[in-house]
């Protein structure tokens, strides 16, 4: 009997220990911090993904993010051109709040030409919780040494610093920035790996995708943050025969090349999704996909039913293709209609990483809203301002107020739109009740009162800046 009791005691201890081990293991697994990936395209039209209804281009891998997660029907960025939009995204704060209202110039001697050092990036904040991070592709947040990715929280960088770049390696003829003598010369610089110039052989989009896959491969055992900023399909329009051959039926060469460039991005997204699955980490990786602004009229993009283009505060400039995949937390096949913002990406990421930003964020954690755990909507209102043009817009619910000046006639117009029934902004609600008009204007004025003037001259002031800074392009070799 004593032996039997001992046997049962030992067995019970083993079972208990095993159970505790499994509970601990499950708890650890459930409390793992999610990996965070942002896939950002450049000047991609709202209608140029098949998850938004395109029949001209198939984007099956990008579509997986939307169909295996959530498609945002009202996803916005904070500005209608590259630089300011990226500042809002990477900080989770309206760029106007810290003077980032203009497109930064190539000015490597000027520490004010880019994202102010007062602002934390997502890499800064997630790094506090042990995240390994990489910035890949287009930076455009400052060329000064102190503004570069490795000094803004990122552990690794592979890409280029300026607002655009040539796509074919044979055109990268400048070995260092001392050879840059004009704003757009920087499009021809060799790529940087961290702070070292490299000899790259691949088509640019393919090279960026390769680096993204490699980073995942090397960092799958710990939480990581990847900011993958493709410059496609931003001009210049350049694609390889591999991708051009997919669109032989498109006669317009600009449109054909543009579609080929988007297709190259889609291939890269497919490689990233496959690598996440191979490593067994796709379930707990949140992947955001969006464009930095709407499609540009000069690059043959298509904004679907939206009016306006890149640079405009009409929907076509700020309303972008936007999706999120995170199987662990979000069921597949969700369509989310309330408006969300690129500001929300950082707020969502830091909420689940339990990181603590120093600055107050303008974005919100959108996952509880998507899941239905929290009632209401993420944002009562969203705001946009083009400081130099004095154009502005506010959207509250389905109502949008837009004040813009026609550059040709110099006449300012104000419009009110019901975006639920008029997403194309064709019908100005001239008979809208005065109370509703006043409410929208009052909200914008209150928001504007918290913003500041731009801290630097931007791309629109390129000539003025150069005249004021004659040594703008006199730099060391690096």
DSSP 294: P
Is residue 469 one of the residues assigned to a domain? no
- φ and ψ of 361, to 5 deg: -95, 150
Cα–Cα distance between 93 and 113 in angstroms, integer? 18
Can you give the residue range of the structural domain that contains 303? Answer: 34-379
Short-list 179, 68, 276, CA closest to 474: 179
Same domain as 145, residue 183:
yes
Is residue 154 one of the residues assigned to a domain? yes
| pLDDT at 388 (0 to 100) | 95
Short-list 304, 301, 352, 379, CA closest to 76: 379
Q: Are 318 and 79 in contact (CB under 8 A)?
A: yes
Tens digits of residue pLDDT in 172-201: 999 999 999 999 999 999 999 999 999 999
| pLDDT at 17 (0 to 100) | 44
Where do the H-state alpha helices sit in 142-290?
204-218, 241-244, 253-278
Same domain as 283, residue 242:
yes
Same domain as 409, residue 369:
no
Is residue 25 one of the residues assigned to a domain? no
| pLDDT at 410 (0 to 100) | 85
177 sits in which H/E element: none
Identify the domain boundary among 379, 403, 434.
379
Same domain as 374, residue 415:
no
What are the E-state strand segments in 235-380? 285-291, 322-325, 334-336, 340-341
Cα–Cα distance between 83 and 162 in angstroms, integer? 10
Same domain as 339, residue 433:
no
| pLDDT at 407 (0 to 100) | 78
Give the residue carrying structure tokens 């965070």: 36
Is residue 474 one of the residues assigned to a domain? no
Q: Examine the residue annotation and report whether 140 is marked as an active-site residue of this protein.
A: yes
Same domain as 422, residue 335:
no
DSSP 388: T
Contacts of 55 (CB under 8 A, 6+ apart): none
Short-list 180, 159, 38, 210, CA closest to 107: 180
**Under the phi-then-psi rule, with left for phi > 0, alpha for psi from -120 to 50, and beta for the rest, what region is 186?**
alpha
Q: Which of 61, 82, 165, 234 is catalytic?
A: 82
Same domain as 422, residue 372:
no
Is residue 14 one of the residues assigned to a domain? no
Same domain as 354, residue 210:
yes
b/e map 409-419, b = 16+ CB within 10 Å:
eeeeeebbbeb
Same domain as 293, residue 147:
yes
Short-list 41, 93, 122, CA closest to 310: 41
| pLDDT at 31 (0 to 100) | 53
Short-list 310, 346, 116, CA closest to 227: 346
Q: Are 299 and 167 in contact (CB under 8 A)?
A: no
Structure tokens at 262: 């988007």
Contacts of 347 (CB under 8 A, 6+ apart): 92, 361, 363, 364, 365, 366
Same domain as 413, residue 307:
no
CATH code of 126's domain: 3.40.720.10
CA dihedral 259, 260, 265, 267 (to 10 degrees): 120
Print pLDDT tens along the chain (478 aa).
445 444 444 444 444 444 344 333 333 343 589 999 999 999 999 999 999 999 999 999 999 999 999 999 999 999 999 999 999 999 999 999 999 999 999 999 999 999 999 999 999 999 999 999 999 999 999 999 999 999 999 999 999 999 999 999 999 999 999 999 999 999 999 999 999 999 999 999 999 999 999 999 999 999 999 999 999 999 999 999 999 999 999 999 999 999 999 999 999 999 999 999 999 999 999 999 999 999 999 999 999 999 999 999 999 999 999 999 999 999 999 999 999 999 999 999 999 999 999 999 999 999 999 999 999 999 999 999 999 999 999 999 999 999 998 878 888 999 999 999 999 999 999 788 888 889 999 999 999 999 999 999 999 999 999 999 999 999 876 6
Is residue 77 one of the residues assigned to a domain? yes
**What spatial distance separates the first Cα and last Cα of the chain, rounded to whole Å?**
82
Q: Which of 13, 20, 61, 140 is catalytic?
A: 140
CATH code of 431's domain: 3.30.1120.10
Same domain as 289, residue 408:
no
Q: 3-state DSSP: the chain helix, strand, coil percent, rounded to 5? A: 35, 15, 45
Is residue 234 one of the residues assigned to a domain? yes
pTM (whole model) above 0.85 = yes
Where do the H-state alpha helices sit in 226-342?
241-244, 253-278, 315-318
Is residue 41 one of the residues assigned to a domain? yes
Number of domains the chain contains: 2
Same domain as 420, residue 359:
no
Structure tokens at 55: 């029949």
- What's the angle, vertex CA 391, arms to CA 458 and CA 439, rounded to 5? 140
């Amino acid at each position: 009997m004593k032996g039997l009791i001992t046997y049962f005691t030992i067995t019970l201890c083993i079972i208990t220990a095993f159970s505790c081990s499994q509970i601990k293991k499950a708890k650890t697994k459930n409390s793992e911090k999610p990996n965070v990936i942002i896939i950002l395209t450049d000047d991609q039209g709202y209608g140029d993904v098949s998850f938004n209804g395109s029949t001209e281009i198939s984007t099956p891998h990008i579509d997986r993010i939307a169909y295996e997660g959530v498609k945002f029907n009202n996803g916005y960025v904070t500005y209608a051109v590259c630089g300011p939009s990226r500042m809002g995204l990477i900080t989770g704060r309206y760029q106007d709040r810290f003077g980032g209202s203009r497109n930064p110039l190539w000015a490597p001697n000027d520490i004010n030409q880019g994202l102010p050092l007062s602002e934390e990036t997502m890499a800064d904040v997630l790094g506090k919780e042990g995240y390994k991070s990489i910035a890949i592709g287009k930076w455009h947040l400052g060329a000064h040494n102190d503004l570069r990715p490795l000094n803004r929280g990122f552990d690794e960088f592979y890409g280029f610093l300026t607002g655009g770049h040539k796509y074919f390696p044979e055109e990268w003829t400048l070995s260092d920035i001392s050879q840059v003598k004009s704003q757009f010369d920087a499009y021809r610089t060799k790529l940087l790996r961290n702070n070292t110039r490299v000899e790259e052989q691949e088509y640019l989009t393919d090279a960026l995708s390769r680096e993204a896959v490699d980073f995942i491969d090397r960092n799958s055992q710990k939480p990581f943050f990847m900011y993958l900023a493709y410059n496609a399909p931003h001009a210049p329009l350049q694609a390889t025969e591999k991708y051009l051959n997919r669109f032989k039926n498109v006669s317009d060469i600009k449109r054909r090349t543009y579609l080929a460039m988007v297709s190259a991005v889609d291939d890269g997204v497919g490689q990233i999704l496959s690598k996440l699955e191979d490593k067994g980490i796709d379930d707990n990786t949140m992947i955001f996909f969006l464009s930095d602004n709407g499609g540009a009229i000069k690059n043959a993009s298509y904004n679907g039913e939206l009016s306006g283009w890149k640079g405009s505060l009409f929907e076509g400039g700020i309303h972008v293709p936007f999706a999120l995949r995170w199987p662990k937390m979000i069921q597949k096949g969700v369509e989310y209609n309330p408006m969300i913002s690129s500001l929300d990406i950082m707020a969502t990421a830091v909420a689940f990483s339990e990181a603590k930003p120093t600055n107050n964020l303008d974005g919100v954690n959108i996952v509880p809203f998507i899941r239905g755990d929290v009632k209401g909507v993420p944002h009562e209102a969203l705001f946009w301002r083009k400081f130099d043009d004095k154009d502005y817009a506010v959207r509250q619910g389905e109502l949008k107020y837009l004040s813009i000046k026609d550059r040709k006639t110099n006449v300012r117009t104000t419009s009110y739109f019901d975006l639920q029934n008029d997403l194309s902004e064709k019908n100005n609600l001239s008979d809208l009740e005065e109370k509703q008009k006043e409410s929208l204007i009052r909200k914008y004025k209150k928001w504007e009162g918290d913003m500041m003037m731009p801290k630097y001259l931007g791309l629109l002031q390129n000539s003025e800046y150069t005249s004021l800074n004659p040594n703008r392009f006199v730099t060391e070799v690096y």
